[in-house]
């Protein structure tokens, strides 16, 4: 048996990876994520609409289960999972997401507040009337190319013959590989006016187009407040829109005022409405404003209505500016008008999108009227044959009666061949030899029924022929004259605007930047108290001094600081948690306060507080860290002046924990006392300064099963007496030793 020769091809691995990744990226870009500039649809949307068209789920027919539509689309055209198909179907039916919904949904299709649609087995759908007319209407006239589906068992349209610029009307959002598209929706009537203007004026500018298109028109309404920047955005196809919700002031009978939000920014749809309510509540809780006394969401199927009840004499202008600055009531919408043009992604200007639409309309109508002209030309040929046949009907009947076969009769009608046909007279045969009908005419004559010879039928045939000639003249004019083609497109666009146009919802204007200046906090000294149950509260120093004895007795931690300071909590696990003093409840001495673990990430069940102190005191000093296994270090307090609420304050060895942290001075000495009764006093200068991420050095040499139990700083202030097994030890009388020695045993 002869062996086939094998050839090994050596290729750079990076080149294969690069080519494979580019192929994958382009597949995602063109086949999934980005819309086509011609119909403004992504493949999944196009396939779903075409499948509904094929299933006959029209606007004038009953709804069908979405599960049937999804399953049929997935089986025939889009084998990428049912969830993506159903999601596309749902979005095309949601009036609050699409400027022009393409699907008529029946059932729970979600809400503007973020509620999801019901499962596809419960919901039903059918095509909207405009989708049938303007998106799928001419598919039977060979206006677009059809391609094989994924398994080559069906044909699907390369693009739908959409008669309006859907890419602008409905917009599009999609994330591809390395690129993203974000096109806002626009008003149907305005876009149609702009297209008509572009048809009528060849070199129209973007600025002239914007006399018709004011700007985006979001289905949620609201305001676009950077009108002057729109020209730049539409010329480049990229930029940022500043969106605001619509806020109205309503007065109540008691003289109080309410702020009513009746329209929201397009970006605030869904879960962001709930986040907005939480953000407003947060402004109240953090004492950024005291003007809001109640928040209620009264939204319904009739529209958005969020009511903020205000106290009397509230500063509404200041409050509205605060909402714009501190919540998503003012937001940005990033515009990136990216679409697939001739199989490649391209960022387009407003003018380019409209020009591509006009070119597509000319192409579609050219193909449509070529197909219609061909059909009318075929009708003309047959009609002329039948009319001619009526004039010589007696001769034709004589030919048919004298012929032995249909072929013999047809050959006589087409070519005048009379051999084998019996004629009544020589004159009839001579006349038959002069007949020259076309193949199509001869077939039509042979298939003609006798009732067509009735006088009225002949009159109808003549009228039909006249109509056919007019149609041929009209279609030829449309195909041969650009002005006639333009008039036709304009007429169709005006009809669509008249039937489906609506008033603009979004206001486009120039508005000044919202100016919000936080009211300056009156700086004052306060005392922060943490009781034995872990509740924290703050009070002014005068209140503390009046209740000093009880406050000290009832509290585990007492910290004096400014109300603009932060409290740093260090735990035995080596973590540091920070709390703004302003976040701590401020009030009277007998107020309960709030659990400290609610204000920080500190977990009282697994961690123990080693030290609590104000940041201002810590950051200008040096901190001494000491662990149970005798590891010590100095750390600059500036390392703990951070924005994060939780950080690792020190590195710990295995099975070690932090037992002491304190602010020190260079002249001080440090005393370690172990569980087995050893004491060691060393100068602070012997302890090296390290970073907070360091583990430190050994401060005292420990015996087996011994550990550091207590640490004291001797700086001339505070208690210098230590108790060990009921024996007092005067720490300032201890001899100063060296670091990493065992120290002196306390005699008991």
Angstrom distance (rounded) from CA 181 to CA 187: 19
Angstrom distance (rounded) from CA 410 to CA 445: 9
Question: Which candidate in 122, 234, 369, 500 is catalytic?
Answer: 122
Angstrom distance (rounded) from CA 700 to CA 460: 119
13 in active site? no
How many degrees, rounded to 5, is the angle at CA 190 between CA 184 and CA 192?
A: 100
Angstrom distance (rounded) from CA 293 to CA 311: 6
CA separation (Å) from 156 to 78, 345, 561? 10, 22, 74
Please answer whether residues 168 and 183 qualify as being in contact, where contact means their C-beta atoms are separated by less than 8 angstroms: yes
Tokens representing 743 are 């120290």
Half-sphere exposure of 612 toward its Cβ, with a 13 Å CA cutoff?
23
CA separation (Å) from 12 to 21, 55, 285? 15, 50, 62
Angstrom distance (rounded) from CA 572 to CA 212: 68
What is the edge-to-edge ordering of all strands in the sheet holding 103-106?
Answer: 64-65, 124-127, 103-106
> How many beta carbons lie within 10 A of that of residue 665, not counting itself?
11
Q: Is 57 helix (H, G, I), strand (E, B) or coil?
A: coil
Alpha-carbon torsion angle 700, 706, 708, 710, nearest 10: -130
Please answer whether residues 303 and 262 qualify as being in contact, where contact means their C-beta atoms are separated by less than 8 angstroms: yes
Angstrom distance (rounded) from CA 481 to CA 21: 47
Angstrom distance (rounded) from CA 438 to CA 328: 74
Please answer whether residues 329 and 277 qualify as being in contact, where contact means their C-beta atoms are separated by less than 8 angstroms: no
Beta bridge pairs of residue 647: 576
Q: What is the DSSP letter of 638?
A: G
Picking from 81, 99, 224, the residue whose alpha carbon sits closest to that of residue 169 is: 99
Tokens representing 395 are 């001769």
Radius of gyration of the chain (CA): 43
Kindly state the helix (H) or strand (E) to which residue 292 belongs, with its residue range.
Answer: strand 292-297
Sign of the torsion formed by the C-alpha atoms of 152, 154, 155 and 157: negative
Q: Is 662 helix (H, G, I), strand (E, B) or coil?
A: strand
Catalytic residues: 122
């Amino acid at each position: 048996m002869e062996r086939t020769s094998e050839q090994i091809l050596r290729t750079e691995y990076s080149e294969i990876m690069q080519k494979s990744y580019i192929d994958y990226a382009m597949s995602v870009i063109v086949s999934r994520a980005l819309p086509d500039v011609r119909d403004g649809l992504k493949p999944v949307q196009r396939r779903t609409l075409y499948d509904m068209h094929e299933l006959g789920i029209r606007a004038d027919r009953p709804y069908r289960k979405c599960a049937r539509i999804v399953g049929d689309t997935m089986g025939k055209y889009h084998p990428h999972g049912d969830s993506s198909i159903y999601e596309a179907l749902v979005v095309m039916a949601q009036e609050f997401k699409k400027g022009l919904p393409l699907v008529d949904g029946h059932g729970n299709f979600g809400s503007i507040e973020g509620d999801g649609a019901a499962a596809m087995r419960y919901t039903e759908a059918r095509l909207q009337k405009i989708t049938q007319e303007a998106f799928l209407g001419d598919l039977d006239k060979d206006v677009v190319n059809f391609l094989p589906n994924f398994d080559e068992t069906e044909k699907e349209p390369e693009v739908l013959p959409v008669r309006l610029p859907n890419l602008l009307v409905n917009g599009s959002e999609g994330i591809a590989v390395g690129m993203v598209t974000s096109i806002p929706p626009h008003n149907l009537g305005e876009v149609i006016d702009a297209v008509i203007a572009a048809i009528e004026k060849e070199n129209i500018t973007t600025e002239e187009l914007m006399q018709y298109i004011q700007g985006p028109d979001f289905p949620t309404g609201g305001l676009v407040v950077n009108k002057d920047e729109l020209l730049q955005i539409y010329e480049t196809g990229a930029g940022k829109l500043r969106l605001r919700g619509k806020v109205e002031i309503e007065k109540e009978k008691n003289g109080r005022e309410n702020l009513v939000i009746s329209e929201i920014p397009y970006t605030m749809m869904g879960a962001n409405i709930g986040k907005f309510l939480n953000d407003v509540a947060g402004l109240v809780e953090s004492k950024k404003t005291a003007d809001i006394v109640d928040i209620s969401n009264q939204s319904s199927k009739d529209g958005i209505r969020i009511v903020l009840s205000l106290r009397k004499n509230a500063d509404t202008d200041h409050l509205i500016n605060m909402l714009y600055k501190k919540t998503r009531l003012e937001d940005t919408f990033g515009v990136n008008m990216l679409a697939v043009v001739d199989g490649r992604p391209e960022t387009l200007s407003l003018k380019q999108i409209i020009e591509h639409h006009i070119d597509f309309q000319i192409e579609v109508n050219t193909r449509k009227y070529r197909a219609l002209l061909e059909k009318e030309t075929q009708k003309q040929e047959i009609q002329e044959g039948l009319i001619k046949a009526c004039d010589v009907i007696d001769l034709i009947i004589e030919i048919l009666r004298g012929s032995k076969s249909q072929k013999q009769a047809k050959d006589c009608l087409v070519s005048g061949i009379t051999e084998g046909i019996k004629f009544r007279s020589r004159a009839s045969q001579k006349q038959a030899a002069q007949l020259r009908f076309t193949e199509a005419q001869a077939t039509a004559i042979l298939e003609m029924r006798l009732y067509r010879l009735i006088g009225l039928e002949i009159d109808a045939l003549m009228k039909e022929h006249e109509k056919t000639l007019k149609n041929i003249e009209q279609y030829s004019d449309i195909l041969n004259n650009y002005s006639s083609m333009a008039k036709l497109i304009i007429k169709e666009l005006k009809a669509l605007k008249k039937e489906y146009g609506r008033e603009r919802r979004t206001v486009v204007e120039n508005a000044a930047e919202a100016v919000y200046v936080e009211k300056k906090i009156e700086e004052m000294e306060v005392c922060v108290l943490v009781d034995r149950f872990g509740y924290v509260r703050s009070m002014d120093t005068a209140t503390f001094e009046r209740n000093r004895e009880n406050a000290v007795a009832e509290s585990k931690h007492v910290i004096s600081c400014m109300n603009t300071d932060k409290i740093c909590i260090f735990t035995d696990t080596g973590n540091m948690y920070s709390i703004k003093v302003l976040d701590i409840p401020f009030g009277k001495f007998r107020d309960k306060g709030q659990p400290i673990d609610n204000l920080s990430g500190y977990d009282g069940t697994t961690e123990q507080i080693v030290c609590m102190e104000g940041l201002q005191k810590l950051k200008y000093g040096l901190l001494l860290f000491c662990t149970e296994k005798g590891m010590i270090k100095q750390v600059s307090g500036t390392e703990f002046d951070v924005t994060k609420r939780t950080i690792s304050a020190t590195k710990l060895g295995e099975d070690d924990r932090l037992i002491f942290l304190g602010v020190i001075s260079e002249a001080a000495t440090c005393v370690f006392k172990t569980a087995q009764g050893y004491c060691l006093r060393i100068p602070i200068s012997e302890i090296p300064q390290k970073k907070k991420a360091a583990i430190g050095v050994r401060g005292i040499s420990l015996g087996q099963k011994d550990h550091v139990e207590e640490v004291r700083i001797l700086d001339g202030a505070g208690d210098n007496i230590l108790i060990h097994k009921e024996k007092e030890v005067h720490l300032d009388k201890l001899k100063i030793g060296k670091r990493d020695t065992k120290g002196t045993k306390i005699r008991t």
